[in-house]
Structure 1
Amino acid sequence: MSPLPLPQRIRQLSQTTLALLAFLLAAMLMVTVAYAAALVIEARTDKVVTERLVEAKIDWVTVQADGLQVRLTGTAPNEAARFRAVNMVGSLVDSSRIRDGLDVIPAQAIEAPDFSVQMLRTEDGIQLIGLMPETPGEGAMTELALAEAAAALTPGTELTNMLESANYPAPETWGPALAFGLEALERLERSKVSVGASQVKVTAISDSEAQKRRFENELRAIAPAGVQLVLDISAPRPVITPFTLRFVVDAEGARFDSCSADTERARSQILSAATTAGLSGRPLCTIGLGTPTPRWAEAVSLAIRAVAELGSASVTFSDADVTLLAGSDVSQAAFDKVVGELETSLPDAFSLTSTLEQKETATQGPAEFTATLSEAGDVILRGRLTDEMQREAVDAYARAAFEGAGVLTATRVDATLPDGWPVRVLAGLEALAEVDHGSLLVRADTVEVTGVTGSQETRGRITQILSGKLGQGQTFQVNVRYDEALDPIASIPTPEECAADVNGVIAQTKITFTPASAEIATSARPVLDALAAILVECPPMQLEIGGHTDSQGSEGGNQALSQARAEAVLVALQGRRVDTSGMTAVGFGEATPIADNESEEGREANRRIEFVLKGVQAAAGAAASAGAEAAPVAGDPGAEAADGTETVAPPANPAAAPETEAGPDGEPVAETVADAAPADGEAAPVAVAATAEGPDFSGDTSPSVAPTEKTIRPLPRPEGLASQESP
């Protein structure tokens, strides 16, 4: 067969090529259509599944469609959440098309609970409730040991034990905190002690302000290191019997010998009237129970205005008995006018007796009884007594009132002495027993007590004694001076004062070190000696010694260097016999600069050692308010800042912020400050723990006379009202 001609072969080849091209084009079209369809299916699947998961608020799953397959990725919070997400996707597409790539957050170990114990002590017994570790650790009490120790505190009462335990390790500070809480419960008969691993909170009621301060000092001294102590100890308002107030205006100015009020508002009203009458400073005015009428402040304010108008007079309130004594330089006309207005204005419950003092014309000396209490504690009794029986009674009473003192009785009998002489003598001896040393003078017209005391409330207490025992219409004088050196509490610095003194030394001269080392420079030894001299006189306290560096060098190196320097200071103080049991050394490195590290002066300022008081309520931020509540009349004059819950460094200058204390109703209370000048020949008042005494009345010679008869009979005091001394 002959081959086809060339043109035919070309035509035949073209048809084959065209057929092949057509087939390829059709195949490409089909692939394109299939691919487009797959993309549509993937997009549709992705959208539907994602929308369904969003509606179910499952936002941790990522959906990726790959052809007919659906891939799920992400991290589920737990296995249940992962299972729920897979099931939900399986309800939308075939489960065989799902590719599960979900992870689950690993399960965490159950954290140990916060161990805590509440201990409540009342007259009915002790209640324990809380959660303790089953294995408390070496030296720590078990649940059974705690229950037995608590039951031993109140024998004869039933212990309510609602303690539970958990099998978890005890924190490191749990044992010391629990032991301290039990010690606090033993000291405080009416208290609630809440013990945690890092904090012990003590809420209690004390009998007086003096007892409150003693409890606070004792608990702070034994508080374990690393455990924050929160104190909330309150003292009830005292019952003042008799309810006494005495206001005097004479040549030395206006002053209170004694001041009592029933409410904060009443005290403000009384002090406002006294200020208008010429009183300066912030006098001690006790808020207590026992006022004879709610209109006490109104009556006292009227009487004070009357004394100010007379210009030379004194007024004495003993419950509802009011005694007004005008000086001999007051005219009869002015006296009659003021007394008439006062009698008309006084509330009905009060009885007024008024006396205009006459100038002395007699030359013969009156009958006297004197008693002298020396600084050594010896008592000498001289003068006249009515009979032998009274002499024996006075001698026995003096030996009981001045217990431990040597009593010398050198008196003589005089049957012509006026009525009431024995009462005046015994009342005077009781008043003299309130001072540290002094003298007593008893005459028919007056009883005068002169002396020195270590308590700012003694003058008010003596006024109460004489006013109550002598009765209405009798004259007495109180010339008592406060001496801080005799105050056993004022001489002990508080932790806040100690911290302020320490920071005062640091502010003047820094503790320096050899460059790039923790070796204390030789030049810094006088600073450490000065700090040790302060701290050895301070009570145990929780003090943080903080080391700081500049920013030069590595952060880790600065941290280690600051820690080593703080520890070096702690060791240096320990070597100087400072009690460092409550002190800790902490290195802060370059984390807390106080100046710019870009300059040499700033870097020098940042290289420092700081002392910060820990575990006490900060008092620096509380402002003392005028007329705020002061301490009770016959108790401890000192006051301390209420235990609060936050701890701050005390100011470098301790005089920059007055200290405050918490009153019976929880309000901040300003302490008294002395503003009056001392009398001639007497020492100036001395500040006591941010509290200064009031005006010095040691030179007061003005008599205080009560009436000889009553014009209006006062309302009787309620029966059964216990006579209780001010704390």
Structure 2
Amino acid sequence: MRISQTFIVAMTFALAAGLCVIAAGFAVQAVEDASEISVRRALDLNGHDWAEVQADGLRVVLTGTATDEATRFNALTVVGDEVDASRVIDEMEIIPTANLRAPRFSAEILRNDSGISIIGLVPTTMDRDGLINQLRGIPDRGGVTDLLETADYAEPEGWSDAIEFATTALSVLPRSKISVGADLVSVTAIADSAEDKTRIENTLTRVVPSGLRIRLDISAPRPVITPFTLRFLIDEDGARFDACSADSTGARDQIAAAARRAGVATEQACVIGLGVPSPKWGTAAELGIDALTTLGQGSITMSDADVTLIAAQGTDQGQFDRVIGELQADLPAVFALHAVLPEPVEADPAGPVEFTATLSPEGLVQLRGRLADENMRHMVDSYARAAFGSDVVHTATRIVPDLPGEWPVRVLAGLETLSLLRNGVLTVTPDSVTLQGVSYLEDASAQAARLLAEKLGEAQGFDLSITYEEPPEPADKPLDPEVCESRVAEIQGEAKITFEPGSATIAGESLDTMNRIADVLDQCGGIRMEIQGYTDSQGREEMNLQLSQARAQSVLNELRARRVLTSSFTAVGYGENDPIADNKTEDGREANRRINFYLIRPEPIPETQTGLEAVEQQPEPAAETDAENGEDQ
């Protein structure tokens, strides 16, 4: 059978087509292999071994997961250098970016005479309008300047408590800056006085939420002293101060050095205050004390710019004149010196010219001695009744004419100083006002000297012998926080708090210990305390942590059941952390199973030098230089 020519042609074309297809396939495979090999080599050389390459015809498909966008882009660049970029199919991925860390939320609140301003970054979920309205509710002459920014993140733990405490603190501090963080609130403020500073610190400590740390830096301004007073005496009993004021630490050191030269053995606490009449106060005081030391006995009183030196009776006239002359020449120009050498006193046949007032420890006052007339007697009696009480004054004075003209002033000034004492005796004579007794005021002697110097005037002598006595403690005064912590530790040292095995139930034998601890804490007032629970290392760590927390909370609940003020207490379990003994022994494990009562103290403030103190400590020009226990797991 003959094969037709048409069939032969068709078969020829088919065979040729097949051969072309096979050749093309080999060519494509060659191109794919060459592209894949070159791209793979380039990626490996550039550190992109994470990328996978697959050639599909002319296409080069890249897969894999890059660490970031920059790495992915660099891999594309490397591949683009080997093959045409239009052939590259990018199917690479990037590792998902971890959640961005929440910002640190904080706020600064400033309050002064111009109003309140607040700036910082706060969570969007916070009631910002409510906070601003609270600030506007604080009495103030100015408004509230809101400079807050917000961020859409969850409130950190403790943020609400910190803001609440800051608002409370701001309401009692007219001049203050409060820095608010979720874990710490720092308060910087100025109080009106040392007493006001103590009151504010106690108030803020009592209202601190549990778990919040605070840092208090409350300063009190220097007192304004008027008149600025210093009184120094030398007599048979030795040298001493009745009053001492200084305008700077340098002046205080000058005065102290002069007092040591005069024989004062103990350091005198001079009050540093405002109101000094001259920057040369320290020099004038030093010169005056040195002059009195040279004379041997007498007194020197400085009241503002008036200096009164009274020598002892019998002082040599020549020595007196020489010392006074030198002192007069050396004193800075603003100071006026009044020097007195007392004349010998002649006895009065009619008896001593004097007025006495006696204040008994029971508060009874007896007035005796000489007064000029009936009007003066009525005036003195009325003044005494106003100062000491109308039902405690007994007047037994007599009318004697021809008394010194300044007698009423001396008597009334003496009675005013007597009111500073708990008990004592006032004696007024033509030459001197003498006050002896006991006072509950630490600075009673300084107050009396300042008052007499102001009322009596220059060249008038007075003698003070006032003993300070600590006032009795109020019956309801809270115990000192450190004493509370110490007493609780002592009780636990005698009998630790134990629990039923494996539970948070306080053992029956420890209930008496809880009663004793509650009795102590009931006397401590609003202190901040953390009740800490610990276990040994037996068992799983997570179970121990939960058990310690439950036991600490159980102790807190027991205190609440005993009506102890626990609003500022917090219970925290620490599990097997912080062992105090070896967990390999039974005794050690027993010691590690414990409850601690930890007193939370305000954060300490580093001492910094104020601008005024810095100025004071600058050297003056050369021409002006003046000389922290227990139970069963």
Would the TM-score normalized by the shorter structure come out above 0.5? yes
* Residue 279 of structure 2: aligned partner: 294
Once the two structures are superposed, residues 640-679 of structure 1 have per-residue CA deviations (whole angstroms, 9 ceiling, x without a partner) of xxxx39xxxxxxxxxxxxxxx98976989xxxxxxxxxxx
1:218 aligns with 2:209: no
Alignment check: 8 A CA contact 1:82 1:102 kept:
no
Aligned match of 1:76: 67
Higher relative contact order (CA 8 A, sep 6+): 1
Which one-letter code corresponds to 1:255 in the other structure?
R
Aligned to 1:127: 117
Map 1:301-380; keep pairs closer than 5 Å.
301-308=286-293, 312-327=297-312, 339=324, 342-355=327-340, 362=347, 365-375=351-361, 377=363, 379-380=365-366
Structure 1 residues 68-108: Cα deviation after superposition (integer angstroms, max 9, x where no partner) = 9786644433xx44652343133223358868674423355
| Alpha-carbon distance in structure 1 between the residues aligned to 2:96 and 2:202 | 51
Written as runs of structure 1 = structure 2, the 5 A alignment for 1:109-258 is: 114-130=104-120, 135-136=125-126, 142-154=127-139, 157-163=142-148, 170-171=155-156, 173-258=158-243
How many residue pairs match? The answer is 582
Q: Of residues 398, 411, 433 in structure 1, which corresponds to 2:419? A: 433
One-letter amino acid of the structure 2 residue matched with residue 303 of structure 1: G
Q: Match for residue 593 of structure 1? A: 579
Q: Look up the match of 1:104.
A: 94
Alignment of 1:413-452 (within 5 A): 413-452=399-438
1:259 lines up with 2:250 in the alignment: no
Between the aligned residues of both structures, percent identity stands at: 44
- The residue type equivalent to 1:62 in the other structure is W
The verdict on how the C-alpha distance between 1:248 and 1:190 changes in structure 2, with shifts beyond 3 A counting, is: same
1:550-561 alignment, distance < 5 Å: 550-561=536-547
SS at match of 2:232: strand
Q: Comparing 103-112 with 243-252, which one deviates more in the overlay? A: 103-112
Question: Hey, what does 1:62 align to over in structure 2?
Answer: 50
Structure-2 residue corresponding to 1:650: none
In structure 1, the partner of 2:82 is: 93
Q: 1:134 to 1:598 in 2, by over 3 A?
A: closer
Residue of structure 2 aligned with 1:539, choices 525, 528, 531: 525
- 2:206 corresponds to which letter in structure 1? A
Given that residues 184 and 212 in structure 2 are in contact (C-alpha distance below 8 angstroms), is that contact kept between their aligned partners in structure 1? yes
Shift of 1:404: 7.7
Contact 1:535-1:578 at 8 Å conserved across structures: yes
User: What secondary structure is seen at the aligned counterpart in 2 of 1:589?
Assistant: coil
- Tell me how far apart the structure 2 counterparts of residues 144 and 300 of structure 1 sit (CA, whole Å): 59
1:208-257 alpha-carbon deviations (Å, 9 max, x no partner): 11111111111111222232222222211122111111233445444322
CA RMSD in angstroms comes to 4.2
Q: What is the distance in 1 between the residues matched to 2:416 and 2:570?
A: 50
Residues 1:143 and 1:101: Cα distance change in structure 2 (over 3 Å): closer
TM superposition shift of 1:43: 8.0
Deviations 1:318-374 (A, max 9, x none): 223333344458666765665555445443433334445677663754233333445
| Distance in 2 between residues matched to 1:306 and 1:525, nearest whole Å | 71
Matching of residue 485 in structure 1 with residue 460 in structure 2 = no
Give TM-score scaled by structure 1 length.
0.68
Distance 2:169 2:55 in 1: 75
Counterpart Cα distance in 2 of 1:62 and 1:235: 67
Name the counterpart of 1:475: 461
User: Could you report, residue by residue, the CA deviation over 1:414-434 in whole angstroms, capped at 9, with x for unpaired residues?
Assistant: 332112111112222222233
Q: 2: CA distance between counterparts of 1:114 and 1:572?
A: 37
Once residues 259 and 529 of structure 1 are traced to their aligned partners in structure 2, the CA distance between those partners, rounded to angstroms, is: 50
Residue deviations 1:558-584 (CA, integer Å, cap 9, x gap)? 323333333343334334442111111
Give the secondary structure class of the aligned counterpart of 1:468.
helix
Q: Is the 8 A contact 2:72 2:94 kept in 1?
A: no
Give the direction of change, closer, same or farther, for the CA distance of 1:553–1:244 in structure 2 (3 Å limit). same
1-side partners of 2:66 and 2:238: how far apart? Answer: 84
- Given candidates 438, 442, 465, the residue that maps to 2:451 is 465
Q: What is the CA distance between 1:600 and its match in structure 2?
A: 5.4
User: Does 457-466 or 379-388 show the bigger shift?
Assistant: 379-388
C-alpha contact 1:299 1:346 (8 A) present in aligned 2: yes
Secondary structure of the residue aligned to 1:539 is coil
Q: Which residue of 1 aligns with 2:372?
A: 386
SS of corresponding position for 1:248: strand
Give the CA deviation at 1:151.
3.1
What's the secondary structure of 2:255's corresponding residue?
Answer: helix
Quickly say closer, same or farther: Cα 1:147–1:74, change in 2 above 3 A: closer
Deviations 1:501-538 (A, max 9, x none): 54465567654556655455666566545543432222
Q: What displacement does 1:376 show?
A: 5.3
C-alpha displacement of 1:160: 3.4
Distance 1:64 1:127, change over 3 A: closer
Q: What is the CA deviation profile of residues 577-607 of structure 1, one whole-angstrom value per residue up to 9, with x for unaligned ones?
A: 4211111121222221234444556545444
CA distance in 2, matches of 1:393, 1:662: 52
1:343–1:86 Cα change, 3 Å:
same
**Structure 1 residues 75 and 249, CA gap change in structure 2 (3 angstroms):** farther
Q: Which runs of 5+ in 1 are unaligned?
A: 1-33, 55-59, 137-141, 619-643, 646-660, 669-727
1:456 equivalent in structure 2: 442
Secondary structure class of the residue paired with 1:181: helix
Instruction: For 2:341 and 2:410, locate their aligned partners in 1 and report how far apart those are by CA, in whole Å.
Output: 22
Q: 1:613 to 1:240 in 2, by over 3 A?
A: same
Q: Which amino acid aligns with 2:595?
A: I
Write the distance in 2 (CA, Å) between the matches of 1:233 and 1:404.
Answer: 41
Give the letter aligned to residue 317 of structure 1. M
| 1:559 partner letter | L
- Given that 1:573 and 1:580 are in contact with CA atoms closer than 8 Å, whether structure 2 keeps it comes out as yes
8 Å Cα contact 1:73-1:100 kept in structure 2: no
Contact 1:563 / 1:587 at 8 angstroms: preserved in 2? yes
1:682-722 per-residue CA deviation (whole Å, 9 max, x = no partner) reads: xxxxxxxxxxxxxxxxxxxxxxxxxxxxxxxxxxxxxxxxx
8 Å CA contact retained: 1:379, 1:405:
no
Moved more, 508-517 or 527-536: 508-517
TM normalised by structure 2 equals 0.77
User: Is the 1:150–1:182 contact (alpha carbons within 8 Å) kept by the matching residues of 2?
Assistant: yes
Shift in CA distance, 127/586, structure 1 to aligned 2, threshold 3 Å: same
Distance 1:326 1:279 in 2: 18
Query: Do the aligned partners of residues 347 and 530 (structure 1) sit closer, same or farther apart at CA in structure 2, a change above 3 Å counting?
Result: farther
Q: 1:159 to 1:572 in 2, by over 3 A?
A: closer
Contact 1:74 1:101 in 2 (8 A): no
Structure 2 vs 1, CA of residues 540 and 663 (structure 1 numbering), >3 Å: closer, same or farther? farther
Distance 1:250 1:235, change over 3 A: same
Tell me, yes or no, if the aligned pair for 1:484 and 1:491 is still in contact at 8 Å. Answer: no
For residues 404 and 537 of structure 1, what CA distance do their matches in structure 2 show?
Answer: 37
